[in-house]
Amino acid sequence: MAHRHASRPTRSSAPTPPLALAGTLLQRTLRFAEPPEAVLARTLSGANRVGQRLRHALADALYGALRALPQLHWRWQRLQGGTPAPLDVAALRDDAPACQALMALAWPIDAAPWLAQADATSAEVVAEWQARAQAVSLDDAPEAVRLGLPEWLVPRLQAQVGGELPLLAAALRAPAPVDLRVNLLKARPAQAREALQQALGGTVSTTPYAPHGLRLPGRTRLSGVPAYEQGWVEVQDEGSQLIVALVGARRGETVVDFCAGAGGKTLALGAEMRDSGRLYAFDTVARRLLALPARLARAGLTNVVTMQLRDEQDERLERLAGKVDRVLVDAPCTGLGTVRRHPELPWRHDPASVAQHAALQQRIVAAAARLVRPGGSLVYATCSLLREENEDVAAAFTAHHPDFVVQPAAERLAAARVPQAQALVQGPYLRLWPHRHGCDGFFAAVWQRRG
């Protein structure tokens, strides 16, 4: 049977068929030049602007395709009548018909009416592909395909979680909830929770571990919600909140967020310090810090100094050498603990990029350690699941810095009033897993510098 595909975009004034747009979204995302949300914004603009419902459907299809990429690719190859070959992302992104077919297979069933209203031909193609795919089993597919993971990643995760790997893989494929951190400078947790429930009309639960965390069900738009607009809450995954709890920042201290990024942990640290002392937010990429001033103003923080560094060896860091009470290094990493939110990441990385990140992480944590005063503490954290970026980096740092002593993470968490702290650690380190703890995957090690 001939396989039909939506027509390719043309230079005429006719709108691009939705399924062709969908294929373009997947192709552009797999180039990894920008995240999926940026691809969606750029692609669905101008002549390709679509209605809100269709836009949501295209976004859901894109994220659905990324979450199940090897499974959809396997089924598509079986429907082609050949023996499935291993997924080659570079080849896939250059194959427009294949990308359209995978997006057809990923199209959300409940969004079928919006597709039919926009373009009957695209809707027919989607219905045909999905009907045929129901007969294709994954029982004889390789383990990596069944798990929805790249082949190189399977043995690395297997070595760490053993028989829990299918549970971990399923958790990584599931969309993440929206977690919030209550800003104690402006509201109490119970007060913020009640305000959110009244504004959103749904159940707002507390996070099981983070003391000041709230969790919203499913996709929730916070723009225009008073508790958010007034700075009572900030969007922050529970795992990220636990990293901040591990730092243990206090009033009046000097604290450095060495790799601040967009500043989520900076805001949390400032609230822990009750807007006292001095809090430095560093990053090497200026655009990451651009939104921070507005966020600081909304949160009511005035004790934060932001600075773009040339690199981890920036000579201006010498001013703080040996003077900082607490340094947080939330290091650049592969981000594989955040796959629930960023399903493109497993396909963006490979063993070579993991090794590159590990080398950078060792340089950064060594540079940041120079700022810590005697008796002060250093926290190294990543949102990666991989030992190479976590325990191996921590062990290398400990081996080369005898003046830093590893501190048990469970004790630091308990001091921050985190319940069930022992369930969140492996050995002396914080180790969070999506399938065990319901949050993003995080690792953290804590050291105290000898006095």
**Predicted confidence band of residue 14 (pLDDT cuts 50, 70, 90):** low
330 is in an annotated binding site: yes
* 30-34, 199-203, 248-252, range with the lowest pLDDT: 199-203
Give pLDDT, residue 13.
56
CATH superfamily of 238-449: Vaccinia Virus protein VP39 (3.40.50.150)
Among residues 99, 333, 383, 439, the one annotated as catalytic is 383
Q: Would you say residue 440 has pLDDT above 50?
A: yes
- Over residues 181-220, the pLDDT tens digits come to 999 999 999 999 999 999 998 889 999 999 999 999 777 8
- What share of the chain has pLDDT > 90, as a percent? 89
Domain spans, the chain: 18-147, 178-235, 238-449
- Over residues 41-55, the pLDDT tens digits come to 999 999 899 999 999
Full 3-state SS string of the chain: CCCCCCCCCCCCCCCCCHHHHHHHHHHHHCCCCCCHHHHHHHHCCHHHCCCHHHHHHHHHHHHHHHHCHHHHHHHHHHHHCCCCCCCCHHHHCCCHHHHHHHHHHHCCHHHHHHHHHHCHHHHHHHHHHHHHHCCCCCCCCCHHHHHCCCCCHHHHHHHHHHHHHHHHHHHHHCCCCEEEEECCCCCCHHHHHHHHHHHHCCCCEECCCCCCEEEECCCCCCCCCHHHHCCCEEECCHHHHHHHHHHCCCCCCEEEECCCCCCHHHHHHHHHCCCCCEEEEEECCHHHHCCHHHHHHHHCCCCEEEEECCCCCCHHHHHHCCCEEEEEEECCCCCHHHCCCCCCHHHHCCHHHHHHHHHHHHHHHHHHHCCEEEEEEEEEEECCCCHHHCHHHHHHHHHHCCCEEEECHHHHHHHCCCCCHHHHEECCEEEECHHHHCCCCEEEEEEEECC
95 is in an annotated binding site: no
Give pLDDT, residue 158.
98
CATH architecture of 178-235: 2-Layer Sandwich (3.30)
**Predicted confidence band of residue 136 (pLDDT cuts 50, 70, 90):** very high
Give pLDDT, residue 12.
46
88 is in an annotated binding site: no
Task: State yes or no: is 383 an active-site residue.
Answer: yes
